[in-house]
Amino acid sequence: MDPGTLEHMDTSALTILISVVAGLLIGLAGGLWMGKRESTLVGGSHQSAQERITALEAQLQLITGQYEDVQQRYAEDQKVLTLLEPLRDQLNRVDKTVIEMERKRGEQHTLISEQLRAVVTNDEALRKTTESLESALRGGSTRGRWGEVQLRRIAESAGLQNKLDFVEQKQVDGEGLGKPDMTLHLPGDKYIAIDSKVPFSAYWDAQDIPLTATGEDASRRQRLLEPYRVDAELMQAAAADALFMHCLPAHRDEEVSADVMDGPQSVVWDEAENRLHAQKAILSWCLGAMPA
């Protein structure tokens, strides 16, 4: 083999060897680069997973702490509820008591309303009766009959008996005596003829004049009531143990003089106190506090 051929063969072998070495170097370099890249990716993934784990652990600790706080507050609330349990029972009893009281109050209100309506009705009936009585007493015949009844009651209250100690509407002997309302028998066949008179006209006329009247009306009222006034002179004509009574309010110096009303024979204040107690008893009965 000639030297040119040998040289050509050596050059080709060297070229191949260099190519192989270059390929090995390139392959090694590529392997190192790939290994480094994979190592970088794996490291990054590992770091990201570690961060997520850390974050989850932090969230778990936070949730655990919140759950413990909720449990603690719940336990405290249960303690408070346990302490308030008797108070709740008392409030329930108070609520039931209030409801019962409201129910009874409603019933009492209805009852009082009915009783007040009855009082108004009775008052109206009494007013009409009083007006009828006033009209009747203004009439001569009715007023005369009322006077006869009062005269008989006075005689009976004194212990006198009808047909025995006295007789009514009986003709008596004697000219012009007529028929008196009462004939009182006396010893020795003697008698006293009594005729009752009820001079109410002036009194009713005076009541028609208001208390606030002035001038001539006030003077006329005073003149009309003058004959009916109870004064010291009239009390002196009565028995020594006679008492002056009045249901009040009284019109001083019209119905009664001030010296009689405030005098030792006056019991108007005791009578007023008795009337007060009687009215309180009536009111108590109306409200249902007293048995019927």
Q: What is the pLDDT of residue 249?
A: 83
The pLDDT tens digits of the residues spanning 167-191 come to: 888 776 654 556 788 888 888 888 8
When comparing pLDDT for 62 and 162, which is higher?
Answer: 162
Higher pLDDT, 74 or 240: 240
Task: Convert the pLDDT of each residue in 214-254 to its tens digit.
Answer: 889 888 888 888 888 899 998 998 888 889 998 888 888 88
Q: Provide the pLDDT for residue 224.
A: 85
Highest mean pLDDT among 36-40, 74-78, 83-87, 239-243: 239-243
Out of 39-48, 130-139, 140-149, 186-195, give the one with best mean pLDDT. 186-195
Q: Which residue has the higher pLDDT, 274 or 177?
A: 274
pLDDT at 291 over 80: no
pLDDT of residue 138: 66
Q: Which residues make beta-bridge pairs with 186?
A: 190
Confidence of residue 264 (pLDDT cuts 50, 70, 90): very high
Residues 6+ apart with CB under 8 A from 267: 243, 244, 245
The pLDDT score that the predictor gives to residue 177 is 57
**What does the pLDDT read at residue 228?**
82
pLDDT at position 122, please? Answer: 86
| CA dist list (Å): 256 to 204, 212, 215, 260 | 17, 18, 22, 7
φ, ψ of residue 231 in degrees (nearest 5):
-125, 180
Residue 116 has pLDDT above 80, yes or no: yes
pLDDT of 284 over the 50 cut: yes
Chain-wide mean pLDDT for the chain? 77
Mean pLDDT over 276-290 rounds to 81
Residue 268: other Cβ atoms inside 10 A: 19
Residue 164, CA distances (Å) to 148, 184, 195 in order: 18, 9, 18
